[in-house]
Each structure stands twice: as structure tokens, then as C-alpha cells.
Chain A
Amino acid sequence: MHALQIYIKNLMHANYFSLFLFFSGIIIFLCTHTDIIMIEISHLNLNFKNEIIFDNFSLLINKGEKVAVIGESGKGKTTFLNLLAGFIPDYSGNVSIFGHELNAENISEIRKHNAWLPQDISLSVKTVRELFFEPFEFTLNRDLKPSSESVSQIFSEFDLSENLLNKKTNEISGGQKQRIILASCLLLKKPLLLVDEPTSALDEKIKQKITDYILKQKKLTVIAATHDDYWIKSSDKVIEL
């Protein structure tokens, strides 16, 4: 308390230039510090299907970081991604994404900046083209509809033939479906990508190629639930559940 009194006294005697420097420093610190945080979790408690998934869990993820979430099956990797995508409302503690607290009021705003790839999408039969372009039909994403060059480029990066676009979703393999949906998510150019076992249905060679492609996107924050060693090694941060 005494120290604080001396500090305030000194501050009152300081000249305007010192005060300007002092407050500018604080503002610059706050701006740069808060600007680099993508996700802030503190004291998270979460039970799911009668199991404790998180008990007083805290975590900070910076923008552009590539995070691998690992752990045995049933430990809550998918639940963690579902929580961040707003699919598990019953939790206690603080979860903040892009500076917005994760709650019912902010969820629409938070989802505007997300791309989310579940492990498996069960869907009625439709053409691959419909599936691939579906997210670009949403009002929010209409301006992001990719050019044919962008589609060709990402299909080539992901070892996909463009002829697949004319097939039905039940005529392609699980690995092809996974890559097509992943490519669609990436072309949305959202700052945060949540992916659940993104390479689970892929062979080794394609796995590495796709991992490298995603993890080299500097501005993209990626949180992946994964068992894949190459993905884990290539990530900036590993969270074990």
C-alpha cells in the first residue's frame, strides 16, 4: 500500500511527456498483447456424458499457432473441438475466442470466423460439386466463392481429380470426401480452423503433403484433434488430454 502511495505521488509529479510515454506504453502493450491471442480458456470445467473431460483447465492459443490435441479415444478431443465450435453449451469457466466470450449471444459472431471439419459427415447422397460449394452458398461466404483456378490449385495440392466433382458423394472414398471437405473449409479463408482427425482416412504420402500444406498457412490458427505422428511433430503446441 505504501509503495502504491509513493508510486502515485511520483506519477503526479511527473511531467506531461513522462505521463504520455507511460500511458502510450500501456496502450501499446494491451493492443499488441491482446491482439495475438486467438483463444483464451481459464478454469474450464466440463462434464460430457457423465465423464469429467476438463477439470479447472486453462489454455492460451495465439494467432497463427498450430495446435495438436492428443489423447486416447474418449478423452475428449472431439468434445474440445465441439466446445470451441459452440456445440456444447453446458460448461463452466471462461472461454474466449477472438476476444468474444463463448456464449449464446456471441456464438454467431464467433462462428463467422471459424471453419470446422468434423471427423465424418453423415449426409444424404448429393453430388460432390454440391457438397464442395455448399458453404459458399451461405450469405456470409458468397463473396468468397473460389475461382476455377483456386479450385484446380487446391485439388492438385490435395491429390484430387477435378472429375470427382461430377460424382455422387456415395461414389467416392472416405479419404476423398475428407480431402474435399477440408479443401472447401480452407478456401473459406477463415482465421481459425478446427479439424477432427483430418488425416485419419489418408495414406502416408498424402497425409504429409496435406499436413505440410495446412500447417504452412502462417496466418491460420489450426486446432486439430489427431493421432497422426507427423501432424503432432509438425505442430507448434501439443495439448494432451
Chain B
Amino acid sequence: MEKVIDINYFELFTGYALMLIPVLALWYYKTGLVKDTLIATARMTVQLLLVGLYLEYIFKLNSIAVNIGWVVLMTVIASYTIVNRSNLKFKLFFIPVVLSGIISIAITDAYFLGFVVKLDNVFDARYFIPVTGMLLGNTIKNVVIALDAFYKRIDDEETYYRWHLANGATKKEALLPFMRDALRVAFNPMIATTAIMGLISLPGMMTGQILGGSNPNIAVKYQIMLLITIFSSAVLNVVLTIFFSNKFAFDAYDNLRKDIFRK
């Protein structure tokens, strides 16, 4: 195995110069996203450096309770990010998003780690935490897009939704075209990326494993399985989030509540 070239902290710092490109572009086009970009970059740096420190500790500890607690905490933070990024009210959507996150992670993690990788202990910190992190990290964008697309389109095309309801559709039937569109909008880019994987882009995890000295063959197999797991976890998460939030986003007459949106 070849020696891995470490990046020292000075080199890491010089790497940040690349951020000038997005920051200047976002500033020039007056997107109002410069502050958010800087905060996000700072958060990412601090969080990852801290993760490096406490993952080392958690891996050594490897307690099932701590690992599960850690994953639940990650899901709560991911759900917080999802609802904050969406145009929907936090107090209404936070719980359904957390619930959907936990269920989808539990199902896909159990299948991948227990059935495919066949770990003796599916809660082994070295697998359970990074895999769940990958699943959550890759799901956030899809859930935000799907949630926003679903509820915004019902609001924009309310007469169309009502036309269904008033002409004999059940609520589920009336919502079907909106669900279909939300899934299309959220997953079309993921399908496109999956289709060109390996041709144009080399996925981050696989690259990381190879850079870390792993056999490319093993790295590829893990990457394939992770992409599939991420895809199913994301779809499950979106479907469950919409399913749970449906229960309160409509009034007793099946009309969309207007107070679910942030002003």
C-alpha cells in the first residue's frame, strides 16, 4: 500500500482560495447568498474538524447506545437543515421530517449493513456512523426540493387540485400528480448523476477510499452499494415525509392549509 500524502494545515488554508470563485460570482450577480456561503463554509470546516476529533473517540468507545444516539442526533440536525431550507413552517414540519429520516435510515442501514455487508454488529461505529452520514448528507437536498415542489405546486395550481377533488377524486388521487412531479423534480438530477457515474465523475467516497490506500475494486463495490442505498433511502425519506406531513397540511375538507408556508 502506497503512503498517503497528508495535507498540512497551511496547505489546507491555501485551498480556501478556491472559494473566491463562488463568492465573487455570487456577489457580482447580487444573489444575496454570499453571507450564507461564508457561514456554510465556516460551519463545514469547524464541523468536519470536530468530527475528526470526536469520531476518533467514538470509534474507540464503540458503544451501541452512543452510536445510536449519535445517529439520531445527526438525523435531528439533518431534519433541522431540511425544514430551515424549505419554505415551510418549522414547528409543523420538523417532527414529520425527523420521523421520516429515522425510519428511512433504520430500514436502509439495517439492509445494507446487516444483509449486504453482513456485519456482526450493525451498530459498529466504523460502519454505522459514516454510512448513515453519507445517507443523510445525500438525502437533505432531495427532501428539501421535493417538499417545496410538492406544497408550492399545490398552492400555485390550487384550482387544478380542487378540480380533482370536486370531480370525484379521493385526496390521495387528487395529490397523485403533485407527488409524481415532486419525485421527478427531486430525483431527475440524481438519476442523471447515477447514469454518468464513473464516466465523468468519480464519487467522493470512492475517491477518498482510493486516496486512503484501499483496493480500487473494494472501493468501487462499496461505492455501488452506497449509491443504491442512498437512492432508496432518499426516495423513502421523501415519500414518508410527504405522507406524514399530509396528515396536518390539509384541513378537514382536504383544502391545503395556507398557514403551512413561511411568510
Contacts and interface: CB of A to CB of B under 8 A. Distances in A.
A89 B252 contact: yes
A222 B165 CA distance: 18
Contact of A121 (B159, B169, B173): B159
Contact of A104 (B162, B181, B252): B252
Interface in A205-235: none
A115 B167 CA distance: 5
B163 interface: yes
Nearest to B255: A87
A122 B162 contact: no
Interface residues of B, number: 22
A237 interface: no
B164 interface: yes
A188 interface: yes
Nearest to B162: A87
A124 B253 contact: no
Interface stretch (A14-22, A66-74, A135-143, A155-163): A135-143
Contact of A112 (B160, B163, B168, B251): B168
Contacts of A121: 157, 159-160, 163
A165 interface: no
A107 interface: yes
Interface in B163-201: 163-170, 173, 177, 181
B156 interface: yes
B253 A138 contact: no
A107 to B, nearest CB: 5
List 3 A-B pairs, minimum CB-CB distance, nearest first.
Answer: A116-B166, A104-B252, A140-B168
Interface of A: 85-87, 89, 104, 107-108, 111-112, 114-118, 120-124, 134-135, 137-141, 181, 185, 188, 190, 194
Interface of B: 153, 156-157, 159-160, 162-170, 173, 177, 181, 251-255
Given A111-B165, A116-B167, A124-B153, 10 more contacts: A85-B162, A85-B165, A87-B255, A89-B255, A107-B254, A120-B159, A138-B168, A138-B169, A139-B170, A188-B167
